[in-house]
Amino acid sequence: MSEVSAILETMSAAPFDLERIGHDLPFAESVSNLESVLQQRVAVVQAPPGTGKTTLVPPVIANVLAGAAPASQAAGRVVVVQPRRVAARAAARRLAALTGSQPGDVVGWSVRGESTTKPSTRIEFVTPGIMLRRLLRDPDLPGTAAVVLDEVHERGVESDLLVGMLAELRELRDDLTIVAMSATVDAARFADLLGEDTPAPIVDCPSALYPLNVEWAPGPQRLDDRGVTPAFLSHVARAAAEAHSKAVKAHDGADASYSCPARGKSPAWHPNSTGCPTPKFWNYTVSSRLGSRTERSLGANRGSRRESWSPRLSRNRR
């Protein structure tokens, strides 16, 4: 089989195992609804944070497009627009891990100065700046079958231009699928904007509710003239480790996640300095200005501890 034939076969078949990807994700209950409304080539997804819409919606669209494509024709690519580079890379890596593939194979990303895509890539995460330049270079978006606007509520010049240009492009390309997603979006307003004669269908997802316990743990002074004090960071790390120890005793295998008001690691953060067991999962809040090499070092698996990051707001969004 030639390389071109192999690529066509890969891209025409449904490449994503939705049951595996959507396991324990609340949005899995809305997959059938999304699949049905995608016949109209436009939808607005309104789902609370943590429901899995960023992880599950793109492969659902890719499978629907693959099933509708002729056997002799490769299905187009699903392009997901994320507002920040950190979010684009992180979402692509997460989805690639769930599919059991390497980043850049069926799932990749393109940000300023970096691209990890191949001809066989089915889902590509990009930033608004990258998508806008593609539209300006070639307004027809050849090879793109669907565009997903994630976190569409985050208003900006580039994101607003994308919504308007894609709405116009949809009038010229009836085969282009456009999906707008957000947790806090004005769904009815975007449905009117993206729809043609009638508003676009809206797909809702219920919130995932969990019991919440609030425990006060007063600590030393939080700020001084130089910013967040090391003593306060040590207190946060110690409190988080102690809470995780209690959780493990109640539920074996429990994970822990915490965010701390700093832009990088500090020796005071290290679990070994707290005298408590090391949590399996630490969530560091870092700056979105970090490069990909720094992100990979923060996200690497180190023994039994797995690290990840969540982006801060930054003016540098391209």
Contact 183, 48 (CB under 8 A): yes
Q: Parallel, antiparallel, or unpaired: how do β-strands 223-224 and 227-228 relate?
A: antiparallel
* Nearest to 176, CA basis, from 15, 42, 45, 56: 42
Provide the CA 116 distance to its chain's centre, in angstroms. 16
Backbone conformation region of residue 41, classed left if phi is above 0, alpha if psi is from -120 to 50, else beta: left
In tens, the pLDDT along 256-315 reads: 666 655 444 443 344 444 444 444 444 443 333 444 444 444 444 333 333 343 333 333
3-204 falls under which CATH superfamily?
A: P-loop containing nucleotide triphosphate hydrolases (3.40.50.300)
Whether residue 69 has pLDDT greater than 50: yes
* Nearest to 145, CA basis, from 96, 94, 91, 80: 80
Segments of the chain assigned to CATH 3.40.50.300: 3-204
Q: What is the mean pLDDT of residues 190-213?
A: 84
Contact 126, 84 (CB under 8 A): no
Euclidean distance between CA atoms 76 and 69, whole angstroms: 9
Give the rounded percent of residues in the chain with a pLDDT score beyond 90: 38
pTM (2 decimals)? 0.68
